[in-house]
Amino acid sequence: MSAPRPSIELAQAVRSGARAAVDVVGEHLAAIEAGDGAVHAFNLVTAEQARDQAAAVDRMVAEGGDPGPLAGVPIALKDNLCTRGVPTTCSSRILEGWLPPYDATVVTRLRRAGAVVVGKTNMDEFAMGSSTEGSAFGPTHNPHDTSRVPGGSSGGSAAAVAAGFAPLALGSDTGGSIRQPAALCGVVGMKPTYGTVSRYGLVAFASSLDQIGPLATTVADAALLFDVIGGHDPADSTSLNRPSPRVLSVLDDGVAGLAVGVLTEFLEGAAPDVVARVREAAEACAAAGATVQEVSVPVVHLGLSAYYLISPGEASSNLARYDGVRYGLRVDAEDTVAMNTATRSAGFGAEVKRRIMLGTYVLSAGYMDAYYNQALRVRTKTIEGFDAAYACCDVLLGPTSPTTAFPLGSKTGDPLAMYQSDVCTIPSNLAGHPAISIPFGPGDDGLPVGVQVLGPALSEGTLFRVAAVVEAAAPPLLPLGSAGEVRS
C-alpha cells in the first residue's frame, strides 16, 4: 500500500489542469480567515502575494509549462526564514517591521517548485522555547485543544498544518523545535542531518545545531518537501557538498530486515500512555519484518545539560548583532553603548535575555572550562554513544515528547521545567543526526502522541521508510477540538 500523499496529489491536480492553483490557495486563505483567530498560527498572512503567485502557477500550466512538484501547494513559513520585502520578525520586537533584502535559499527552492507561501508563522522569540508562549505577539493555541500549547518553537507552523491552514510548513529545529510541536499538534515533523538543508536566510540561533525541516500531514508529503529543499548551497559554508539523500522514491520500500532499537532512556521519563504508543509502533515495525530490540544509550541523559550550555553560548554570540545599528529596533540614547543597551533591553523578551545571559556566563573567563568545554566533551560522548547503538541498529525508536500537549501557562514560570520537554529531541541535534516525529494516535487525554524515529547522519532514506510503516499502523487521531470531551 502506498503512503497517503495529499500535497503530492494536490500538485498533480494543478499540474494537469484538473484544479486551479488560485482555487486551492483561495480555500486555504478562507480557512485561515475563519479559523486563525482561535489558533493564532500566523504572524502574517500574505494573501495578496499568495493569490498572485497562484495565478502565475495557473498561467504556466495554461501555457503548457510545468510549475514543479509542489505546483499550487500552499505552504506556511516559520517567521525566522527570510522573505525578501516581507516582514520577518522571529516573533521579536527587536525585528518588528524589518524587511529582509533577500530570500532564504529554502524559500527560493520552494518557489521554483511551484509552492505558494501563504504566510509567516508564530514561534517562540528567536526559536528559544518549547511552547510558542515566548512569542512577543502572544501564544499560538493547539488546534486539538485551544487551552493547550502547540509546542515550540515552531508551534505556529505545526498548528497551521494541524488546523488545515496549509498542508505543508517549514520550521527550524535546534533542540527539537520541529519535532516536539509536530508531536503535540499531531502532524509529521522532521529534522534533517545537519548540513543537508541550507541555513542561508535562516535567522541564526545556535549555528552548530540549527536545521530547517519539513512539517506535513503525512510522511510522504514531508518526504517530497525534504527532497525539494535539500541539497548543497554555496551560500551556506556548512552545507554538505554532496548529494542530499532522496527520500520520496524509497518511501514504500518497507522495513523487512531492518534492525530497530527501542531507546530505553527515552522511555524512562515518559508518561505511561506515551510509552505504550511507542511500544505499539515498535510492534508494527516487527510485524512488517524488522527485528526489534531494546537499546541503551546512557549518555543521552546528559544531553539536556549539554544543550543548555552549548546553545546559549552560541546564541549569546549570534544575537550580539542586534545592536540597533543596521536593522530592526533602535532606542536612542546619548552614546552608542547606551543605545545598544537600551535597544537590546527593550527589544528582547525574558527568555531571550535569560539565554543570552546564560551563554555570556558559560563563555566567560573562569567558567568556560567548567561548563562550555565540558558540554563540548559530552557532545563527543553523545556521538560515540549513538555510534555504538547504530553498530547494531539501523534506527532507534522512542517518544518525541515525554508528554502530550500541556496547558498554556503551566510551565512559563519555571524555565527548567519547560526545557525538560526537549529531553528526547536534543540528542539528535548534538550529534547532527536526522530524526522524524510521526503522530501515533491519541494519549489517555485524547491529545496526539508523537513517535520519533532517529537515525545516523544521512540515513534519511531509512528513516522515512520506517516512518511510513509507523504511519500506516498509527491509530487515527481524534477530530480537532474533541480531546476535551475525552477528559471530561
Partner 1 sequence: MAGPARLTRDEVVHVAALARLELTEEELDLFTVQLAKVLDHAADVSFLDLAGVPMTSHALAMTNVLRPDEVQPCLDRDEVLAQAPSVEDHRFRVPRILGEAP
Which 414-433 residues touch partner 1, going by CB under 8 A?
415-416, 419, 430-433
Q: Which of residues 146-165 bind partner 1 (CB under 8 A)?
A: none
* Residues whose CB falls within 8 Å of the CB of residue 461, separated by 6 or more in sequence, listed in order: 245, 246, 247, 250
Return the number of the residue (432 or 441) whose C-beta is nearest partner 1: 432
In the structure grid, which three cell numbers stand for residue 355, read together?
539565554
Cα distance between residue 54 and residue 62, in whole Å: 12
- Active-site residue (options: 78, 120, 191, 411): 78
| Binding-site member from 51, 291, 353, 484 for partner 1 (CB under 8 A) | 353
Q: In the complex, what is the shortest distance from the CB of residue 44 to partner 1, in angstroms, rounded to a whole number?
A: 17
Q: In the complex, what is the shortest distance from the CB of residue 381 to partner 1, in angstroms, rounded to a whole number?
A: 6
CA distances from 415 to 3, 46, 131, 185, 412 (A): 39, 34, 11, 22, 7
Q: Which of residues 446-485 bind partner 1 (CB under 8 A)?
A: 457
Q: In the complex, what is the shortest distance from the CB of residue 24 to partner 1, in angstroms, rounded to a whole number?
A: 32
- Active-site residue (options: 92, 130, 135, 153): 153
Return the number of the residue (62 or 357) whose C-beta is nearest partner 1: 357
Please state whether beta strands 74-78 and 168-173 pair in parallel, antiparallel, or not at all (unpaired): parallel
Interface with partner 1, residue 205, by CB under 8 A: no
In the structure grid, which three cell numbers stand for residue 108, read together?
527560493
In our burial notation (b when 16+ CB lie closer than 10 A, e otherwise), range 219-253 reads bbbbbbbbbbbbbebeebeebbeeebbebbebbee
From 15-23, 44-52, 288-296, 362-370, give the range in contact with partner 1 by CB under 8 A.
362-370
Q: In the complex, what is the shortest distance from the CB of residue 295 to partner 1, in angstroms, rounded to a whole number?
A: 20
Interface with partner 1, residue 99, by CB under 8 A: yes
* Residues whose CB falls within 8 Å of the CB of residue 148, separated by 6 or more in sequence, listed in order: 141, 142, 184, 405, 406, 407, 408, 447, 483
Q: Which of residues 328-347 bind partner 1 (CB under 8 A)?
A: 328-330, 332-342, 344-345
Q: Which of residues 290-319 bind partner 1 (CB under 8 A)?
A: 301-302, 304-306, 308-309, 316
| Binding-site member from 146, 208, 264, 410 for partner 1 (CB under 8 A) | 208
Residues in the interface with partner 1 (CB under 8 A) total 75
Per the CB < 8 A criterion, the answer to whether 404 and 325 are in contact is no
- Active-site residue (options: 7, 91, 157, 177): 177
78 is catalytic: yes
List, in sequence order, every residue forming a beta bridge with 295; answer none if it has no partner. 263
Per the CB < 8 A criterion, the answer to whether 397 and 278 are in contact is yes
| Binding-site member from 327, 410, 484, 486 for partner 1 (CB under 8 A) | 327
* Catalytic site positions: 78, 153, 177
